[in-house]
Amino acid sequence: MDEATGKSIHNGEPVVIKFARLGRTSFRSIRDNRDYLKGRQCGWLYMSRIASLKEFAFMTALYKRGFPTPTPYEGNRHAICMSLVKAYPLVNVKGLTNPETVYHMLIEQIIKFAEHGLVHGDFNEFNLMCADDETITVIDFP
């Protein structure tokens, strides 16, 4: 809800709420491998909150710079509210009409990340959404 206008931020469109649950299976390794947790003793819910807020900030910055991401609406505690992407995970796509074009779009995204000094640490077929028109949306920002 936009506090200034009192209107819905997403205009009645379906949204996705992503809940972070860090540490569910490998609590110690997550604490050791996340740069923002080094040296801290904290629980999984606090770690999930920090990860979620960082992901929301990252997605918002990318979205504002024209990267193909879901529209980030709000981040709170260990949840992120974003637009629903009307697409399929690339891992589930059995065939493409223009695989060469899609390949070039993916390479262009990697280059665009690099030009902004970024590396998407999990750029794979599980974190790329492919729409019916074969446009790609990047999700899940570690």
The label of the residue with tokens 């280059």 reads 111
Give the pLDDT confidence score for residue 36 in this predicted structure: 53
CA-CA-CA-CA torsion sign (114, 118, 124, 129): negative
* pLDDT tens digits along 40-53: 666 778 888 888 99
Q: In the structure, what pLDDT confidence band is assigned to residue 5 with cuts at 50, 70 and 90?
A: very low
Q: Among the ranges 9-18, 29-38, 63-72, which has the highest mean pLDDT value?
A: 63-72
Known catalytic residues? 122
Higher pLDDT, 57 or 37: 57
Q: What is the average pLDDT value for the chain, to the nearest integer?
A: 84
Q: What is the pTM of this model?
A: 0.78
Domain 1-84 CATH (choose: 3.40.50.2000, 3.30.70.1140, 1.20.1250.20, 3.30.200.20): 3.30.200.20
What is the percent of the chain where pLDDT is above 90?
Answer: 61
Q: How many CB atoms lie within 10 A of CB 76?
A: 12
86-142 topology per CATH: Transferase(Phosphotransferase); domain 1 (1.10.510)
Amino acid identity of 5?
A: T
The CATH 1.10.510.10 portion of the chain extends over 86-142
Say what the alpha-carbon torsion angle 46, 68, 119, 140 is, to the nearest 10 degrees: 30
